[in-house]
């Protein structure tokens, strides 16, 4: 009996000793006293709504952590607490909502038809930036350099060289006035034109600015004013291509705005040789500037190829072209070291890269004076 009483007393004492720390731990703590400085000078702009916003953000973050998630303070903006000194040196706490800097969207590079075909993986000894290129000796039609020259690609405004050839060989009056209409407005690429609807120019002036400055509405008006209209003109372009042996070439319009205008570097060399036979095409394509009066203020046009103003170059014919599917394109006839050559560059990357490629070819021809590669490029007829 005595032992039982002693055991009960020992059990009670043990439970009291063990539970004391737990009771102390669970007892509510007395709130900490604020400093006298804070009591004396309360923050003027530490507003109740701002404090509530911070508290709510803290609760939200705590709830997210309890669920095993990491949550930002605020998705679109966050509160930033700043402590400053106001008038008379008083401490002020300011909460400001700060929006994060807008993310810059990543714009993927435009893939040309040549890139999609994998031509950008082709390397060449001159490190040309054009996906396709061809250089021939005009006197012998022998190939001096080529790179993917047999692949058909969009040719953009190089199309206008065939447009000019068909116009010149149709023997229509060059003095006839041609008007720009709504049909000539670009509804595919929405390209800009300085020729307003209602403008009137002679066929010669339309041809001049179409060749020299790649004026799209002028090229469209030339095709539309062909006997039988634009469909007949496009048919004549394709017939001329076949007669020149341009077997991998196809045209659908007179401007080149459609990516369905396709050709190869080899075919375009034949076109350059044929077009070079016409003095008017040589002159119009290589003039550095030209002014026209379309029924309003005079318009001054400049050549789209800066090399025509370079005295170090002797350019007999040229045409540039660009749409996103085709990249930067250029065809030229020039004399280098007294040697007439035809150069074709398709799908070049960078605004000046096609001209830089022409410079690389010229330097190579001047220094290496390469011989023919054993192939020739000849037109069947002109």
Residue 220 annotated to the active site: no
Please give the structure tokens belonging to residue 261. 């205008």
Phi-psi region of 257 (alpha: psi -120 to 50; beta: other; left: phi over 0): alpha
Rounded Cα distance, 64 and 60, in Å: 6
Among the listed residues 162, 255, 167, the one whose alpha carbon sits nearest the alpha carbon of residue 214:
255
Count of CB atoms situated within 10 Å of the CB of 359: 15
Whether 160 is catalytic is yes
Is 19 a known active-site residue?
no
Q: Nearest to residue 153, comparing CAs of 199, 114, 194, 107?
A: 114
Q: Check: CB of residue 178 under 8 Å from CB of residue 203.
A: yes
DSSP state of 376: B
The one catalytic residue in 130, 157, 285, 348 is 157
CB 210 within 8 A of CB 219: yes
Write phi, then psi, for 301 (nearest 5 degrees): -110, 150
Which string of DSSP letters, residue by residue, matches 272-302? HHHHTT-HHHHHHHH-SEEEE-SSSS-EEEE
Cβ–Cβ < 8 Å for 367, 374:
no
Radius of gyration (Cα) for the chain, nearest Å?
Answer: 39
Q: What is the 3-state secondary structure (H, E, C) of 222-289?
A: HHHCCCCHHHHHHHHHHHHHHHCCCCCCECCCCCCCCCCCEECHHHHHHHHHHHCCCHHHHHHHHCCE
Among the listed residues 160, 240, 270, 319, the single catalytic one is 160
Q: Which of 130, 214, 304, 348 is catalytic?
A: 214
Distances in whole angstroms, Cα of residue 102 to Cα of each of 73, 77, 105, 109? 17, 11, 9, 21
Q: In which region does residue 197 sit, left (phi positive, over 0), alpha (psi from -120 to 50) or beta (all else)?
A: beta
107 half-sphere exposure, CB direction, 13 A CA radius: 3
**Which residues participate in catalysis according to the annotation?**
157, 160, 214
């Amino acid at each position: 009996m005595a032992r039982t009483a002693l055991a009960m007393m020992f059990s009670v004492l043990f439970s009291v000793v063990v539970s004391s720390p737990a009771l102390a731990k669970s007892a509510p703590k007395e709130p900490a006293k604020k400093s006298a400085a804070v009591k004396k000078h309360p923050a003027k702009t530490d507003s109740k709504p701002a404090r509530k916003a911070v508290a709510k953000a803290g609760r939200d973050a705590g709830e997210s952590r309890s669920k095993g998630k990491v949550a930002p303070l605020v998705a679109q903006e966050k509160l930033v607490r700043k402590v400053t000194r106001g008038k008379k040196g008083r401490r002020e706490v300011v909460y400001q909502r700060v929006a994060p800097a807008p993310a810059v969207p990543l714009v993927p590079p435009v893939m040309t038809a040549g890139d999609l075909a994998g031509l950008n993986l082709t390397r060449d000894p001159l490190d040309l930036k054009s996906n396709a290129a061809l250089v021939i000796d005009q006197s012998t039609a022998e190939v001096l350099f080529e790179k993917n020259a047999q692949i058909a690609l969009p040719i953009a405004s190089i199309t206008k060289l065939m447009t000019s050839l068909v116009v010149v060989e149709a023997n229509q009056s060059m003095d006839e006035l041609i008007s720009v209409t709504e049909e000539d407005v670009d509804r595919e690429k929405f390209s800009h034109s300085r020729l307003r609807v209602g403008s009137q120019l002679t066929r010669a002036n339309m041809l001049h600015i179409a060749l020299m400055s790649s004026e799209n509405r002028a090229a469209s008006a030339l095709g539309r004013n062909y006997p039988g209209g634009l469909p007949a003109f496009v048919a004549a372009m394709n017939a001329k291509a076949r007669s020149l042996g341009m077997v991998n070439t196809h045209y659908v319009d007179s401007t080149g705005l459609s990516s369905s205008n396709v050709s190869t570097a080899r075919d375009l060399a034949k076109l350059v040789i044929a077009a070079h036979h016409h003095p008017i095409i040589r002159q119009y394509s290589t003039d550095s500037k030209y002014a026209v009066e379309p029924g309003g203020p005079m318009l001054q046009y400049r050549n789209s190829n800066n090399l025509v103003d370079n005295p170090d170059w002797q350019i007999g014919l040229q045409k540039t072209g660009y749409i996103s599917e085709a990249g930067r394109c250029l065809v030229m006839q020039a004399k280098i070291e007294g040697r007439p050559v035809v150069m074709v560059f398709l799908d070049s990357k960078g605004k000046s890269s096609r001209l830089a490629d022409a410079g690389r070819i010229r330097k190579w021809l001047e220094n290496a004076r390469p011989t023919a590669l054993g192939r020739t490029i000849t037109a069947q007829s002109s």
